Structure 1
Amino acid sequence: MPPKKQVEEKKVLLGRPGNNLKAGIVGLANVGKSTFFQAITRCPLGNPANYPFATIDPEEARVIVPSPRFDELSKIYKPASEVPAHLTVYDIAGLTKGASAGEGLGNAFLSHIRSVDSIYQVVRCFDDAEIIHIEGDVNPVRDLDIISQELRLKDIEFSEKALEAAEKIAKRGGQSLEVKQKKEEMALIQRIIDLLKDGKRVANQSWTPKEVETINSMYLLTAKPTIYLINLSERDYIRKKNKYLLKIKEWVDEFSPGDLVIPFSVCLEERLSHMSTEEAEEELKNIGAISALPKIVTTMRTKLELISFFTCGPDEVREWTIRKGTKAPQAAGVIHNDLMNTFILAQVMKYEDVLEYKDDAAIKAAGKLQQKGKEYVVEDGDIIYFRAGAGKN
């Protein structure tokens, strides 16, 4: 007999399942977080002052996602309105050693991190006598150790409380489903505590879908996808050299394996943010560099497994954000709940076909307009017209 076909278990992502996901900017005080926030959002929020705790409450802004596909579709449809995709970014107060025990603004800082879905961790790698370092000198590996330890210590605290709560129910005894579930939960939480004490992050481990559901309910700080942003001087960024880069890469490979390191220069990005698009392009050409901001935004979307679909027409071209694996009714629900609840079908065009035919009628005549039902999994770049009941489109 032929072997039974293996059914691949559907991957469950760490973190919330929603589409409007938030990235928090994290790091020690005075490493360039607020200046980076201002540069990437091109807004005057944040407080890039030269002293610790200049930012107390997190600032929030939306960052437009660079999208060549959106730009091309806008050229083709020439709509009255253009609405690009965005990523919501938070500027969070600087962390200090002892934050997990309430030092500085520790408790507030950690609660703000708990409320975001992913982390941009800014690491300082530039010397500047005018900008104080809270630890006295520039040492990025030490800074990475401090933040890693504070997040892990807080997660151990969260996990121990969760273990205690599960244990109370498990001690009731009996064969009830709830008791059985809590015993399994206790074993998982103890594994989490052990790996945290061993210096590991939850996000960099492999978990079953059932385990992920429990971990997601715990809102652990080390379960959040992280991108390490290495803040260089403008000179080092342009010449692509810095004495700390190799040591940082080695640290990430050991303690946060699989996570990305992106060098950039807050000083350069802040300077460019005050220029027009044309002026910034000319300046980058003159110094032989590129802005790291587009990569920083798009890489985080990839890290969160976010993709895009589009709605297009003469009135509006809009790019919508969903998580990979989203089915057509749930994608329609991102536009409006009623579209999900009364979903009938999705009319789908592929981006490549729109580029080739440049006209909806021509695409339909060529048999390229696909009718998809409730089980259709939306693909990145789809152009979709939803059909719903009660006369909704």
Structure 2
Amino acid sequence: MPPKKQVEEKKVLLGRPGNNLKAGIVGLANVGKSTFFQAITRCPLGNPANYPFATIDPEEARVIVPSPRFDKLCEVFNKTASKVPAHLTVYDIAGLTKGASAGEGLGNAFLSHIRAVDSIYQVVRCFDDAEIIHIEGDVDPVRDLEIISTELRLKDIEFSEKSLEAADKIARRGGQSLEVKNKKEEMALIERIIQLLKDGHRVANQSWTPKEVEIINTMQLLTAKPCIYLINLSERDYARKKNKHLLRIKEWVDTYSPGDMIIPFSVCLEEKLSHMSEEEAEEELKKLGVQSALPKIITTMRQKLDLISFFTCGPDEVREWTIRRGTKAPQAAGVIHNDLMKTFILAEVMKYDDIVEYKDEGAIKAAGKLLKKGKDYVIEDGDVVYFRAAAGKN
């Protein structure tokens, strides 16, 4: 008999399974977090049309996602009245202090803010400035990384020990019930997590089975969140692509946060660019021989969160929608409006490359490239979609 076909088990992501996900800016005091937040929420780079951002409150804003595909579709549908790009919600979290896990500084309030976001931008200071005093007395980015890592791990150990205690109460009932069996397995997992944290590692950087991920997601651990390390350099160091701390930072991340990305940037430069016109900013970057890091910072976080885009295009609007990779057509329709998911009939799908090539829906149909897909179709990154629902075409 032929061997049974192996069915690949779908990977379950750490974190909540949503589309409107939030990235938090984390770091010690005076490392450039708030200046970075102000720059990233106002900077038009990567978006020639200079779309406005929507401020939600003083510490939270929607950041436009740089998207060459969106800009190209706006060109193709040049009579479009409305253009709505995708966004990423960014939250500026107050500076952490040593001892936060035990209530020092803002303590629990700070850590609860991190618990409420889905991913972390960790800003690390690598510039010297006599006028900006470092909370620890001098600039030592690896020490700063250790402080934040320690505080988040200590809080996660506390969360994990509470989860272990709750599971143990059920497991001690004894017997052969499925609930008791599951709780014993859960306890073994939590004990592994506690040891991992005590050894200095983050939960997000480990390999977990789908069943383990489901348990970890209920624990809302701080170190289970995707992280990107933003290395804040002086404008001079960013332009010359050198800094004495970079190698040590890379060694630390490779050891304690393997697989996570390090992005060098200059808050000072980005803040300056954010107050310039597009032409002035381009000239300044050309003079320095560098590019703004903000587009990469935004798009890399979307990739970390496993987010992709689909588009709806027409004479009235071009819009980019955000969904989690692996989303099926009815659920994608539900991102537009819940009723579309409930009354979904089919999705008419055009590929982005075909629109760029043919530049006309009629020509795409004539070429046989307008695809009609049902409820099991998984939306692909860059799809241009019209959803048909019970009430007709939407």
TM-score tier after normalising by the smaller chain length:
over 0.9
Aligned residue for 1:61? Answer: 61
Paired residue secondary structure (2:195):
helix
Deviations 1:255-296 (A, max 9, x none): 000000000000000000001111101111112111000000
Would you say 1:80 and 2:81 are equivalent positions? Answer: yes
Q: Deviations over 1:355-393 (max 9, x none)?
A: 011011111111100010111111000000001113462
CA RMSD of aligned residues (A): 1.1
Structure 1 position 26 matched with structure 2 position 26: yes
Structure 1 residue ranges (4+ consecutive) displaced by more than 4 angstroms after TM superposition: none
Letter in 2 for 1:166: A
Q: Deviations over 1:327-358 (max 9, x none)?
A: 11111111111111111110000000000110
| Change beyond 3 A, Cα 1:58–1:171 | farther
Task: Describe the SS at the equivalent of 2:239.
Answer: helix
**SS where residue 175 of structure 2 aligns?**
coil
Aligned residues: 380
Confirm or deny: 8 A CA contact 2:24 2:114 kept in the other structure.
Answer: yes
Q: Output the CA distance in 2 between the equivalents of 1:109 and 1:268.
A: 28
- 1:216 offset after TM fit, Å? 0.6
Aligned position for 1:48: none
Q: In the TM superposition, what is the alpha-carbon distance from 1:173 to its structure 2 partner? A: 1.7
What SS class does the counterpart of residue 361 from structure 1 fall into?
helix
- 175-184 or 301-310, which deviates more: 175-184
1:119 lines up with 2:120 in the alignment = yes
- Alpha-carbon shift at residue 4 of structure 1 (Å): 1.6
Residue 323, structure 1, aligned to residue 324, structure 2 = yes
Offset of residue 176 of structure 1: 2.0
**Aligned-pair CA distance for 1:58:** 7.5
Give the Å deviation of 1:181.
1.5
2:320 partner letter: E
> 1:163-193: per-residue Cα shift (whole Å, max 9, x none)?
1011111111222222221111111111111
Contact 1:308–1:381 under 8 Å retained in 2: yes
Do structure 1's residue 4 and structure 2's residue 4 form an aligned pair? yes
Contact 2:120 2:228 survives alignment (8 Å): yes
Q: State the partner residue of 2:308.
A: 307
Partners of 2:314 and 2:239 lie apart in 1 by 42
1:268 paired residue number:
269
Structure 2 residue matching 1:72: 3-state secondary structure: helix
Contact 1:16/1:216 (8 A) holds in 2: yes
C-alpha contact (below 8 Å) 2:386/2:393 kept by paired residues: no
The aligned counterpart of 1:141 is 142
SS at 2:309 equivalent = strand
| Secondary structure of the corresponding residue to residue 14 of structure 1 | coil
What whole-Å deviation, never above 9, does each CA across 1:3-23 have from its counterpart, x for those lacking one? 221110001111010000000
Deviations 1:73-96 (A, max 9, x none): 001012100000000000001001
CA separation in 2, counterparts of 1:286 and 1:59? Answer: 33
Structure 2 stretches lacking a partner, 5+ long = 44-56
Q: Could you say which residue in structure 1 is the equivalent of 2:199? A: 198
Q: Which amino acid aligns with 2:158?
A: E
Shift, 1:130, TM fit: 0.1
Distance 1:360 1:392 in 2: 15
In structure 1, the residue matched to 2:40 is 40
Q: Which amino acid aligns with 2:65?
A: V
CA-CA distance at 1:215 after TM superposition:
0.5
Unmatched tracts of structure 1, length 5 or more = 44-56
The residue aligned with 1:292 is 293
Identify the residue that residue 282 of structure 1 maps to in structure 2: 283
Instruction: State the match for 1:14 in structure 2.
Output: 14
SS of the residue 2:18 aligns to: coil
Please state if 1:97 is matched with 2:98: yes
SS in 2 for 1:34: helix
Alignment partner, residue 53 of structure 1: none
CA contact under 8 A between 1:339 and 1:392: conserved in structure 2?
A: no
- The residue identity in structure 2 corresponding to 1:40 is I
Q: Residue 386 of structure 2 aligns to which amino acid in structure 1? A: Y
Q: Secondary structure in 1 aligned to 2:112?
A: helix
SS of residue in 1 equivalent to 2:319: strand
CA distance in 2, matches of 1:343, 1:174: 47
- TM-score normalised by L of structure 2: 0.95
Which residue of the partner structure matches residue 219 of structure 2?
218
Output the CA distance in 2 between the equivalents of 1:192 and 1:387. Answer: 46
Question: Could you say which residue in structure 2 is the equivalent of 1:258?
Answer: 259
Q: Which secondary structure does the structure 2 equivalent of 1:310 belong to?
A: strand
